[in-house]
Amino acid sequence: MTYAAVAMQLAARSAINAADPRAAMLAHIGEVAGRLRGAAIFIEQYSGAPVKLAVLPEYLFTSYPARVSIPDFAAKVGWAADGPEYDALGKIAQDLGLFVAGNAYETDVHFPGLYFQASFVVAPSGDVVLRYRRLNSMYAPTPHDVWSKYLDIYGLNGVFPVARTEIGNLAAIASEEILYPEIARAHALRGAEIFVHSSSEIGSPLRTPKMIAKQARAFENMAYVVSANTAGIDGFADADGNSMVVDWKGNVLAESNAGETFTAFADIDLAALRQARRKPGMTNYLSRQRTELFAAAYAAPSHQR
């Protein structure tokens, strides 16, 4: 199967100070629907491949929490798993026949007063088929902060979820976590073939650490990376540019310049990827990795390393 994937580079907006934050987020989702429709039509006419996957940037509809308290931010702009924001995105995915990946701050009835930064994929059925909560964060709660209870509720498959879909096995990497090889590898060992990466990072004409990491995570796991960056936040160009699609050999297939654009699009050749993963040889990194060698080292307390 070959289809097009697009990393939508869009400006993030803060809804926290709006008179009605929920209405502001839903209105923004409605605007993004038009952007997705236009991108899908142009890309298919230009390349001949239908668009099946669109990735949205990090915290597109809320911006980042800044100095707002965790309970206040969760109450005002946190998305419930069964909330109206996901319903709205589900209708868009159904209407356009797209898998729509994105990122939001999500509440959980099991952890009142908290939010988790969640990367999600909404299928053309309208259902959320992937929900991954960020595990490494400086300023936001993570599942690891409530680890025992989280595992009791969701299990390890809920921590490292992989969605098996008709366009491939999808997994999410959240923002800065592209710098942590273990996140991508844990998903790859569970079958991930395409990483959706929602980010908000400083762009550059030079290769930044995150840009290098996107290529590294792709080739070391023999997986595609579709990475969408913001086009600034609330009018500031402090996190802009370099959205990209990377193939399973680590090649950058397409990359955006600064500003709102959908120019980071490329074909996903699922058959070629799967053939490469089945073929024995020195370039089949996944088959040659002996994970049991490292279990004891990772299990050792940090003071023993």
Please measure the distance between the N-terminal and C-terminal CA atoms of the chain and give it in whole angstroms.
45
Is residue 255 within 8 Å of 244, Cβ to Cβ?
A: yes
Neighbouring CB atoms inside 10 A of 266's CB total 23
pLDDT of residue 70: 93
pLDDT of residue 1: 78
Q: Which helix (H) or strand (E) holds 133?
A: strand 128-133
Sign of the CA dihedral with 284 first, then 254, 5, and 116 last: positive
Residues 114-139 have a mean pLDDT of 96
Sequence-ordered strand ranges (E) for 28-87: 51-55
pLDDT of residue 48: 94
Given pLDDT bands bounded at 50, 70 and 90, which one contains residue 173?
A: very high
Q: Cα(305)–Cα(302) distance, rounded to whole angstroms?
A: 5
Q: Cα(149)–Cα(159) distance, rounded to whole angstroms?
A: 12
Q: Cα(118)–Cα(201) distance, rounded to whole angstroms?
A: 17
Query: Residue 258 class from Cβ within 10 Å (0-12 exposed, 13-18 middle, 19+ buried)?
Result: middle
Q: Cα(197)–Cα(203) distance, rounded to whole angstroms?
A: 15
**Burial profile 156-188: b = 16 or more Cβ within 10 angstroms, e = fewer:** eeebbbbbebebbbbbbbbbbbbbeeebbbbbb
Task: List the structure tokens of 263.
Answer: 């120019």
pLDDT of residue 99: 98
Given pLDDT bands bounded at 50, 70 and 90, which one contains residue 237?
A: low
Query: Residue 275 class from Cβ within 10 Å (0-12 exposed, 13-18 middle, 19+ buried)?
Result: exposed
pLDDT of residue 221: 96
What 8-state DSSP symbol labels residue 113?
T
Q: Kindly report the pTM of this predicted structure.
A: 0.95
Of the ranges 42-56, 106-120, 222-236, which one carries the lowest mean pLDDT score?
A: 222-236
pLDDT of residue 299: 82
Q: Cα(256)–Cα(242) distance, rounded to whole angstroms?
A: 5
Residue-wise pLDDT for 180-189, tens only, equals 999 999 999 9
pLDDT of 303 higher than 60: no
Share the mean pLDDT of the chain. 94
**Burial profile 229-246: b = 16 or more Cβ within 10 angstroms, e = fewer:** bbbbbeeeeebbbbbbbb
pLDDT of 38 higher than 90: yes
pLDDT of residue 301: 67
Residues 218-238 have a mean pLDDT of 90
Return the higher-pLDDT residue of 233 and 228. Answer: 228
